Amino acid sequence: MNTLQSIGYPIYFENTLSELVNFVQQGNYSRFFVLTDENTGKHCLPLLQQHIGKLDNFDIIEINAGEESKNIDFCVGVWKMLIDFSADRQSLLINLGGGVISDLGGFAASTYKRGIDFVHVPTTLLSQVDASVGGKTGIDLDNIKNIIGTFTQPKAVFIEHAFLKTLPARQILSGLAEMLKHGLIADAGYWNKLKYSDLDNPSAELVHHSVAIKNKVVIEDPHEKGIRKSLNFGHTIGHSIETYSLMNDDNPLTHGEAIAAGMICEAKLSAMKIGLSEDELSEITAIIMGLYPKYDIAESCYKTLYNIMLKDKKNQSGKINCSLLTKIGQCRIDNICTEEELYQSISYYAAL
Ligand SMILES: NC(=O)c1ccc[n+]([C@@H]2O[C@H](COP(=O)([O-])OP(=O)(O)OC[C@H]3O[C@@H](n4cnc5c(N)ncnc54)[C@H](O)[C@@H]3O)[C@@H](O)[C@H]2O)c1
Ligand SMILES: [Zn+2]
């Protein structure tokens, strides 16, 4: 599997941890830091240390696992640790973890001393196929996801398939939603391939294929002025469901579970508004429902979901803007959706 070239940085898929050692040795860094959470500290750090253990002058910064850590308090914690360790501008931050670690670590690094270098070593399927590529960093504030952040590219990304071995099945499913999305928005052949693959354990080739799709889109449109918005398919309604679940459920939905529900709603919107065929809507619905548990959404919640959508970063002049499908493998951006249309699409999902 070939190394992909992104916006000024490589994405490695083979001999990744040896490549990381080479990268650190050649980088002339004064010292480096590994950011982990409690799970990646336990499951992933030992393998990383087998390689970087050869190097000296590194320290580990560990935070609590989960989205609850992706906020300014934990970011301040990381900044303070960097100060305590006397990190200078020649320091490197290695983000070893899922999307929470890459988003928070990327943000902390991009702002510390006006920016130090960072690399991602993504350890969840979701972060391998999505969060680690494209240069978005960020944190949540007051239950608004990713509302504070920067576009800052990592210096390299190292995608090591072995890390997925310890990932719980629910987290695999979470990342799978983004892979399905990649097929739906850009590559019908890939969608068909996914349909017939072992989706409990997506192969390294499938991961590579997904990253290649995402990478192509972000290279074309790094700052999300146009085509990159296609990656938001499923995310307008999906994010609102995710936020709602985070606020209300003891065991909240994962990002991918929420996006899976959002993709069904937005496929329905696609059929209502821009000509996705009923056959393809049924196919998308059946495949996703076959993989993900149904999330109950009562009619009394629709308004709350709508109010959350009104805060979406992608809105223009207060109007809700969705990326929708004209057919499987083809996405059209900038579709303004009315409150009524959004409710209709959520009822379609709720009635399944
Ligand atoms: N920047 C972007 O472009 C982008 C894109 C998509 C998602 N995101 C963000 O990513 C976040 C979600 O990412 P995520 O799903 O990876 O969440 P996460 O980082 O919280 O990881 C999920 C869970 O898996 C654990 N874990 C990680 N690697 C493991 C391993 N190898 N073995 C066992 N357990 C492991 C983590 O500790 C955590 O409990 C969200 O905050 C989302 O906003 C960002
Ligand atoms: Zn997503």
The atom of ligand 1 lying closest to the CA of 175 is: 15
Q: Return the pLDDT at 145.
A: 82
Expressed in angstroms and rounded, the spacing between residue 127 Cα and the centre of ligand 2 is: 9
Rounded alpha-carbon distances, angstroms, from residue 83 to 109, 120, 138, 182: 12, 21, 20, 40
**Pocket lined around ligand 1, Cβ cut-off 6 Å:** 37, 39-40, 43-44, 65-67, 70, 97-101, 103, 123-124, 126-127, 130-131, 134, 136, 145-146, 163, 166-167, 171, 174, 255
Handedness of CA 45, 51, 53, 59 (dihedral sign): negative
Six-digit token string for 233: 């398919």
The atom of ligand 1 lying closest to the CA of 37 is: 37
pTM beyond 0.85: the answer is: yes
Q: Return the pLDDT at 58.
A: 85
HSE-CB at 187 with a 13 A cutoff on CA atoms is 22
Out of 39, 144, 145, 215, mutate this one to test ligand 1's pocket (max ligand atoms within 8 Å of CB): namely 39
For atom 9 of ligand 1, the residue with the nearest CA is 99
Per run of 10 residues, the mean pLDDT along the chain (length 352 residues) is 94 97 94 97 96 84 95 98 97 98 98 98 98 96 88 98 98 98 98 94 97 97 94 96 93 96 98 98 98 96 95 84 97 96 98 97
Q: Give the Cβ contact number of residue 169 at 10 Å.
A: 9
Q: Return the pLDDT at 70.
A: 96
For atom 12 of ligand 1, the residue with the nearest CA is 99
For atom 11 of ligand 1, the residue with the nearest CA is 99
Six-digit token string for 53: 């253990």
Q: Return the pLDDT at 317.
A: 82
d(CA 203, CA 346): 33
Query: From the CA of 323, which ligand is nearest?
Result: 2
d(CA 122, CA 255): 16
Q: Return the pLDDT at 260.
A: 98
Q: Return the pLDDT at 270.
A: 98
